[in-house]
Amino acid sequence: MTRDRDRSIRVGVSACLIGERVRYDGGHKRTPLIADVLPRFLCLVPCCPEVGLGLGTPRNTLDLVEGTTGPRLVMTEHGKDYTQDMERWASAKVEELKRQGLCGFILKSKSPSCALADARVLDHEGRPAGFHPGLFTAVLRRAHSGLPLIDEVELRNPESLFIFLERVLDFALHSRPSLEAELWGETTRPGRGSTEP
């Protein structure tokens, strides 16, 4: 890891949002605000849980389906259940990201793996039965409580974007006290006054 990278504020991002062709159909969901603007301020760390799981690209689609202890992640075509695999992979990935100093995560809406809250859940007849976070996000929330999270839809709202960035900075400053001096120097942080004449 380079010195600059050590100093930067690291924020995870669903990889399809920065243009990586990791979606089930081999495409992406590049969002210019995320792919072009945010990297000026943040070190974006791309992550695709479904590719991480080894499902490849392109791949069959996944669904969340009602289960006795919560939604299950199953492949649409043949019903193979990936819930445990995803929970295991996501737990290890979140620990790795924590060790690297993750300070926030930008998630892809509606995804059964990445959604913040709006992934569709089906009943056993295949009918819509509600909404839930994607399974990767559910693990991320459990294992990294307090981590600022947002999806690309909410990010388009300037007020939400500002609040998210504020929370990320706050999280970074609390988890890495040396960051304040790295960003502003010992005496020049805005609002703290300065010893300069």
Please give the residue ranges that form the binding site for ligand SF4 (CB under 6 A): 14-16, 22-23, 48-50, 108, 111, 113-114
Whichever of 107 and 172 has its CB closer to ligand SF4, that residue is: 107
Residue 193 structure tokens = 């006054």
CA-CA distance, 188 to 193, in Å (whole number)?
A: 7
3 state DSSP class of 174: helix
Ordered DSSP codes for 181-197 = HHHHTTT--TTS--S--
CA-CA distance, 4 to 124, in Å (whole number)?
A: 50
Whichever of 43 and 183 has its CB closer to ligand SF4, that residue is: 43
CB atoms near residue 118 (< 10 Å): 14
Nearest approach, Cβ of residue 26 and ligand SF4 (Å): 10
Nearest approach, Cβ of residue 165 and ligand SF4 (Å): 21
CA-CA distance, 2 to 58, in Å (whole number)?
A: 33
Whichever of 26 and 146 has its CB closer to ligand SF4, that residue is: 26
Nearest approach, Cβ of residue 6 and ligand SF4 (Å): 25
Residue 133 structure tokens = 């976070």
Residue 4 structure tokens = 């600059």
Whichever of 14 and 31 has its CB closer to ligand SF4, that residue is: 14
Nearest approach, Cβ of residue 78 and ligand SF4 (Å): 19
Nearest approach, Cβ of residue 132 and ligand SF4 (Å): 15
Whichever of 10 and 179 has its CB closer to ligand SF4, that residue is: 10
Whichever of 12 and 148 has its CB closer to ligand SF4, that residue is: 12
**CB-side exposure of 129: number of CA atoms within 13 Å?**
15
Nearest approach, Cβ of residue 53 and ligand SF4 (Å): 9
Residue 118 zone, left/alpha/beta (φ > 0; ψ -120 to 50; rest):
alpha
